[in-house]
Amino acid sequence: MTTTDGTISRRGLIVKLGVLLNSAAALAFAIPIVRYLFEAFSRPDAKGYLSWISLGPTSQFPEGETRLATYRNPYVTPTDGRTADLPCWVRHIQAEQFQVFAINCAHLGCPVRWFAQSGLFMCPCHGGVYYRDGSRAAGPPERGLFTYDCKVEGGNLLIHAGELPTPGSPAAAVSQRKPLCA
């Protein structure tokens, strides 16, 4: 590659340039992959994933009623903006007994609406219907609404919000048999 007088031949220069460009391209591909793999460990808010989030004082939720509440997803990045504000349905059964439902239909995830007059949750997409306790009433969903773990502490209603209840998540597995929040 180097000529007898110590200068680099054209072929040698092209080979070195090729190696340099290939290394730069490999690095450009590798950086996002490595960042993705280690992101879970490096995020400062990673532990917020399973933290308890307050939905506010229990007095906001009158006994016997179901109301919409919103919380900020603890597993959030600066670019998430308002998409990290998540709605859920809160049912105040009595005293300190609550149920907190994911807003998404258990069929394909459309947001369900609460109709107090009929005491039913209804899904606008394919006609899924749920009773006031979240159990399935009619339509294509194969199960009831997903529920959050919740508890009352210091007069506030708290939910285990980082892990969204979805099919296959540990929260979904226990939500079918767990007791009401108290």
Task: Supply the minimum distance, in Å, between the C-beta of residue 93 and ligand FES.
Answer: 24
Question: CB-wise, 110 or 137, nearer to ligand FES?
Answer: 110
What angle (nearest 5°) sits at the alpha carbon of residue 131, between those of residues 128 and 137? 45
Task: Supply the minimum distance, in Å, between the C-beta of residue 52 and ligand FES.
Answer: 29
Element (H, E) at 101: strand 97-102
What angle (nearest 5°) sits at the alpha carbon of residue 63, between those of residues 150 and 65? 85
Question: CB-wise, 72 or 126, nearer to ligand FES?
Answer: 126
Question: CB-wise, 26 or 108, nearer to ligand FES?
Answer: 108
Closest CA to 103 of 164, 43, 48: 164
Task: Supply the minimum distance, in Å, between the C-beta of residue 141 and ligand FES.
Answer: 6
List contacts with ligand FES (CB under 6 A): 105, 107-108, 110, 123, 125-128, 139-141
Task: Supply the minimum distance, in Å, between the C-beta of residue 125 and ligand FES.
Answer: 4
Question: CB-wise, 30 or 108, nearer to ligand FES?
Answer: 108
- Cβ 139 vs Cβ 127: under 8 Å: yes
Question: CB-wise, 107 or 160, nearer to ligand FES?
Answer: 107
91-128 b/e (C-beta count within 10 Å ≥ 16 → b) = bbbeeeebbbbbbbbbbeeeebebeeeeebbbbeeeeb
CA 152/CA 140 separation, integer angstroms: 33
Task: Supply the minimum distance, in Å, between the C-beta of residue 75 and ligand FES.
Answer: 24
Phi, psi of 67 (to 5 degrees): -130, 155
